[in-house]
Structure 1
């Protein structure tokens, strides 16, 4: 992904997640332990957060860093749950991974059907 495109995705995702959580820029900054101007710069300018600031923003917004960076499209997944699932993947066999993938697909399909009812 070109760097300009990644920066644009981050800016949009940060703004979308902040609005989803009902926070203004100053509230997000306070929750993440950042200066108020930082969130404004991240959302509107070419400035990018450090790794530590990215983690603080994701934690304050209860989203994953992957969501903020455009690697995941679901802001609802909490970082804690995703981390726990990721840690357990190494314990699964190839057959277990296939079964888990099918199960997750089934759950997503079922959730989609319920949402359209």
Structure 2
């Protein structure tokens, strides 16, 4: 189910670089820091000389805020299907006021996370 006739390993290295540069405007060093992987690994992955482990793939996707399916060429959408997220499904059950409160709380948690991450 890959896109086009490219090999999956070619798609991965292209998608990784595109997500890093175009979507997130990150350097290889910044991606390495955010993902917890060595900078040399990022360079090898983008050059196609090494392939990531499942754990590394997950770390890269999380650091870039994209899905592993996007990095692997299984979908064109880097953000993934929000409908698959249990939070999204539960939000659909709320009235407008409760949705506003939930959105406010999610923003609060995200800001709290960012502050805590800055302290480390």
TM class by shorter chain equals: 0.5 to 0.7
Normalized against structure 2, the TM-score is what? 0.62
Per the alignment, do residues 46 and 82 of structure 1 end up closer, same or farther by CA in structure 2, a change over 3 Å counting?
Answer: farther
Q: Is the 8 A contact 2:20 2:28 kept in 1?
A: yes
Per the alignment, do residues 64 and 35 of structure 1 end up closer, same or farther by CA in structure 2, a change over 3 Å counting?
Answer: same
- Match 2:25 to one of 22, 26, 29: 22
2:85 corresponds in structure 1 to 84
SS class of match (1:52): helix
The number of aligned residues is 84
Normalized against structure 1, the TM-score is what? 0.64
2:69 corresponds in structure 1 to 66
Q: Is the counterpart of residue 10 in structure 1 residue 19 in structure 2?
A: no
| Structure 1 outlier segments of 4+, above 6 Å | none
Per the alignment, do residues 84 and 8 of structure 1 end up closer, same or farther by CA in structure 2, a change over 3 Å counting?
Answer: same
Q: Distance in 2 between matches of 1:73 and 1:46?
A: 24
Q: Which runs of 5+ in 2 are unaligned?
A: 90-120
Q: Which runs of 5+ in 1 are unaligned?
A: 89-117
| Higher helix fraction (1 or 2) | 1
Compute the displacement of 1:82 (Å). 5.6
